[in-house]
Amino acid sequence: MAVNTHGLKLHGIKMASKLTCNEKPYSNWHHMVFMDTDSWEVWTRQVYGTNNWVVYPNDDKIVCIADVQYHTTMQDIADAAYDSL
């Protein structure tokens, strides 16, 4: 099934989706999904706990598009990228 990227030329959504598969429900681990609006690259950072997050200072082109604790499909990531613009 094809992913509807809403016209965005996203790179890395397959790997980002794959990385979210490893989390167990009700664990303290979660993934923050980021997108660079210049290159349309998508990636995740694994974070532990609810009070931890990742910030890319001085770079307003990098946007956190999702913070997930469960498997996220490529379509979910594409939708989040589109919604964040």
Rounded to two decimals, the pTM is 0.86
The Cα 43–Cα 3 span in angstroms is 17
Is 5 within a domain? no
Mean pLDDT of the chain: 88
Weakly modelled stretches of the chain, pLDDT under 70: 23-26, 52-53, 57
Q: Decide if 38 is inside a domain.
A: yes
- State the pLDDT at residue 54: 73
Supply the pLDDT for residue 25. Answer: 67
Instruction: Using alpha carbons, select from 31, 51, 53 the residue that is nearest to residue 42.
Output: 31
Please tell me the predicted confidence (pLDDT) of residue 36. Answer: 94
Q: How many domains does the chain have?
A: 1
pLDDT for 23: 65
Predicted pLDDT at 55: 74
Q: Is residue 78 part of a domain?
A: yes
Amino acid type, 56: Y
CB atoms within 10 A of CB 50: 10
Which residue segment(s) compose the domain that 67 sits in?
13-84
* Position 8 in a domain: no
